Every structure is written in C-alpha cells, then in structure tokens.
Structure 1
Amino acid sequence: MALAAIAGGTAVAQQSGHAGHRQPGGMTMQATPANPYPPAEMRMHEKMMAAVGAGATETWVRKMIEHHRGGIEMSRIVLRETRDARVRQMATKTIADQTREVGQLNAWLRARGKRTQ
C-alpha cells in the first residue's frame, strides 16, 4: 500500500481477469478518471529498475533517460485531460525539455561507444 501512496494511485488486489499493472506483492495499480497516471508510472518504474550500465555514471544516464520518458508520457496524458492553460503550457514545455535531455543523454552514450536507448 505504501507504493500506491507514493505513486498517487489506488492499489487493489490482483484478481483474475482484472486489467491493471501488477506490482510486487500481487497488487495492481489502476488508472481512474481522477488519476490516469498509474500505468505510465509503473512502466517508468519498471524501465528505470532495468536500466543498468557498466558503472554508476552510465547507470545514472540510463535511469534518467527512462525517468524523462516517464515525464514525457505523463505530460502527454495531462494534455489529453486538462483544459487549464497554465498546466498545458508547463506540460508542453516538459515534453520539449525532457525530449531534448533524452537526446543529450543518448548522445553521451553514443560518444562513449555505448548502446543508446
């Protein structure tokens, strides 16, 4: 339940045929009209956990790529959901900034002969 509180989602017990994203311990995060983010958050978390490099520096770069991609995905969700002009402006800026940063992080990997993401 603590992960659900951190992620801002609702955790419900995994049930057969119940659509959702499975968490450790058999819990499922469900998107709701008030919180459409849990599936994106779980994808980001899973990809960040799997992102490992040859050392701490490369691992940080790989995790930040996935972290930024998660921010981009959540920003796209809010753009579909909100009419608030200021939030739309911030989400649009987040997409642009984090897309640029993903490119910079991948360029760092490329410059060192590493596989990009």
Structure 2
Amino acid sequence: MVRLQPDPFLNELTNMFERTTEKGSVWVTLKHSSDKSKLKRDKMKTAGEKIEYKCLVRATDGKKTISTMVGVKDHQRFQSSYATILKTRMTALKKRERKDKRKAADSDKKQDPKKQSSAVKPSN
C-alpha cells in the first residue's frame, strides 16, 4: 500500500476512476486514526499531551491500493476536491424515477371511466 500526500492521492484516485470506466470498480474507505501506535497514544494520554486525530482514506481498484492521511487543517479542502471527483466520475448511477402526484392522480381518474364504461351495456 502506498501512502501519498492528499493532492497526489486525489490525482491517483482520478486515474483509478479513469482506468475502471469501462470495466471494474473503485472502493474507497474512511477510518479515523491518530497515526500513532497504541503505546505512543497511551504515553501521550498519561503525559497530558493532545492527540491529533486524522482521517485515513484508502482507495483500491483490486490491483493497486493507495492511502492518505487527512488532518483537521486540510479536511475542508480535501473534502471539496474529493466530492468534485466523485460527482464527475460516478456516471453509471441511474437517476431515481419519481412519480408526479398530478400524473398519478390523472392516471387514476382515467382508469375509473374505463371501468364505468365497461360496466354499462350498450343498448341496441
């Protein structure tokens, strides 16, 4: 696994999405982390030092795995860039079909006269 800085990570993530456009998937996982071992965290807690938690972001396409650590200071910028990449690259998702209330009501009204007309027998 390759750990990159946030900007090269976003560039490589874009490349992964481009490679898997025709066939394949990209999995992205998020996890909070302090980037310290448990032993170091315990020592820092007992010493009263503040532990800076970061967000660990991993991405894989099945062949290559990349990751990055995003701190509190870079979080807003990273999140906006990440969201932009996801919006542009998730083109295979289908938009949800919604029924319009008026159309549904009109179709119900149209069905009712058909039932009434079939119930009335024409006289010769």
Between Structure 1 and Structure 2, whose CA radius of gyration is higher?
2
Greater helix share, 1 or 2?
1
Greater strand share, 1 or 2?
2
Report the TM-score when normalising by structure 1: 0.25
